[in-house]
Structure 1
């Protein structure tokens, strides 16, 4: 049948229980329907200031430079690395999954000297190993991911900032998958730059990326900008005269836009700012500790339910993300057929996997607006039904019963 190119968009009401994106909170969607404003309208700049204030507690910081990057979560990752790292700088990447490899891919394009300290997928890198690697490589920046959805592991961050400060390095953390769902204490942990995204624990759509930057990192970012004779302002250069590779992702210029100077850089994404503002309001209104406890309960319930169904949960229990759970696909079960039946019969989406785990695990996410008891139970009940239809013996009701018990544990 020829698709109706001129028909209204009418997507199915699907329950998104994969590793992200997840269903947006209705309050966020309502906020995004508000009327547009000009980028220098006093009401608009007031909203920008409110966003900065709202996201400071979400990041656990008092940083003056806490704002939004217009783009998906990856835009903030790239802006951070481009603006912190010059060609030839040594960067230590703490790598324990696909998104640690992403940091390496971006740094290669910058021309950094890349060192890595790694852990097998399903584990995290011990702090002692990071300390040894810092002493060996003497990096200018140490970069890591907080929660890597490819492996469902969460890298401990306490102590990382101290190690960096002692060595004179700056730290960068990609918290896309955990911000608003697991504790982030940027100041207490001494982290210099932390970035996030809306589409996971914050319960919004992809397209805006919160970021916080310490004074030390801001000094590094601004120090790379100076104007030399014959070079236009937009051709920002680092201290050695090498041009920064991006105008759009040059944090010094974006920070000028978010400063009281309001120097024009781009047209702020008004609708996304409304959504990001509401994401933070919802999170703070619930209370961050209550929100973290809700995500922990949801993760606990998914793990308990999967195990009660006779399934094996992937990875190290001690360092599991609360909001994404990896489940090994049983021998003889077609993982993609299960995902298709979940979607077609129940309108529920669960995730596949990357790299060495492709075809080996499913990933079930319970985060943001979807980290709710009934949504976890519905998902586990549907998975039980599909597994039984695919010939895998599942004790009737065991997963839902175990999840219910675990939720209140």
Structure 2
């Protein structure tokens, strides 16, 4: 980009020099003076890094996300750019909407894909359905429940936490007792808690929430496409995910769906959502979900090229109960006597392979390995195990 910029400047300079010898030179003098001033005002030279071609190393992304993207999806990124208000873009968006409905197993009309990470969808869900002073109940058994609790507190909600150690799960009886006690307008649960490697049971919780007039919000960023989820059948009111994990698309898009119960709460509020960017009044119009004949709101397009829902089958031992393992992200206990950072650094350096440590409350407790979507192959599982064995063999074990 910078090389092209300065090549163009050089061309303009040549043209200006030629103009000085032409009969029109006197008439062009003011233009040449302006050109000279604009060029002389550039005092900061282009950085050397911008004059080199971009190089991205090949890495095996065997952490909790992002995952490696299949070549056919990478190729979509080379397609021509079109405007966000072109009729062809609306058709693409309609196709994306239908793809999300299939992936979520829902018929909800209010189904879109946001520009941003799964965290953007998380904030969108809370900001649109909760008003200041309202009660919110959050199941905290890892980092994502705590994150939602903080988001709700920041926008003025009255937040109540149900807390378990990382990897713990909540029984339906515990959930119903808490809902009866706190009378929340929204109950949040993480289906795939990637910080602890837990896939939380969902059946029956939606029924509890409907019984007590409470919306059921579920995070499936780390689980959609790797573990079964059925939005309509399981009476989930709001469901969201991210594009970069088992769905195998590049990071940066966040599918989200609201059912009629959630829409009624969302569009009958007394106050406007605290975020303009995440206001579903605008987003729903742009995605053609509000029933209006024309899409009147000019908004940044939300686009993801493909949905890929491969099921992960690799399982490695951890502290999480056997029947509640998260298929896409496996947690393993840090081997006694080893420094986990050293193990991960060795694996990256010698095997070009990304694995990660714990996150939030699980830092220092576990290492996390993700084999999801395109990466879900037995050969990759063997590679991961061989790399881990090599690291254990060559990294020094402490005396502790």
- Give TM-score scaled by structure 1 length: 0.82
Cα 1:112–1:39, aligned 2, differ >3 Å: closer, same or farther?
A: same
User: Deviation of residue 265 (structure 1)?
Assistant: 4.2
- The residue number in structure 1 matching 2:381 is 376
User: Deviation of residue 109 (structure 1)?
Assistant: 1.0
Off by >4 Å, runs of 4+ in structure 1: none
Question: What are the within-5 Å matches in structure 2 for residues 6-405 of structure 1?
Answer: 6-224=51-269, 239=270, 242-259=271-288, 260-269=293-302, 273=303, 276-278=304-306, 280=307, 282-283=308-309, 291-292=310-311, 295=312, 297-298=313-314, 300=315, 302-303=316-317, 313-391=318-396
Larger deviation, residues 259-268 vs 323-332: 259-268
User: Deviation of residue 247 (structure 1)?
Assistant: 0.6
User: Deviation of residue 132 (structure 1)?
Assistant: 0.6
Cα 1:40–1:319, aligned 2, differ >3 Å: closer, same or farther?
A: same
- Residues 314 and 325 of structure 1 are in contact (CA less than 8 Å); yes or no, is this contact kept in structure 2? no
User: Deviation of residue 357 (structure 1)?
Assistant: 2.5
- Residues 23 and 370 of structure 1 are in contact (CA less than 8 Å); yes or no, is this contact kept in structure 2? yes
User: Deviation of residue 387 (structure 1)?
Assistant: 0.7
User: Deviation of residue 3 (structure 1)?
Assistant: 7.0
User: Deviation of residue 243 (structure 1)?
Assistant: 3.6
Gap runs ≥5 in structure 2: 1-46
| Distance in 2 of aligned mates of 1:78 and 1:364 | 27
Deviation string for 1:163-202 (max 9, x for gaps)?
0100011111111111111111000000011010011110
Cα 1:199–1:245, aligned 2, differ >3 Å: closer, same or farther?
A: same
Secondary structure in 1 matching 2:51:
coil
- The residue number in structure 2 matching 1:407 is none
- Residues 142 and 362 of structure 2 are in contact (CA less than 8 Å); yes or no, is this contact kept in structure 1? no
User: Deviation of residue 253 (structure 1)?
Assistant: 1.4
Cα 1:91–1:151, aligned 2, differ >3 Å: closer, same or farther?
A: same
Secondary structure in 2 matching 1:326:
strand
Report the structure number with the largest CA radius of gyration.
Answer: 2
Deviation string for 1:272-321 (max 9, x for gaps)?
x1xx241x2x43xxxxxxx33xx1x22x2x34xxxxxxxxx222222110
User: Deviation of residue 391 (structure 1)?
Assistant: 5.0
Cα 1:34–1:190, aligned 2, differ >3 Å: closer, same or farther?
A: same
- Residues 347 and 354 of structure 2 are in contact (CA less than 8 Å); yes or no, is this contact kept in structure 1? yes
Q: How many residues get paired?
A: 347
User: Deviation of residue 45 (structure 1)?
Assistant: 0.3
- Residues 54 and 277 of structure 1 are in contact (CA less than 8 Å); yes or no, is this contact kept in structure 2? no
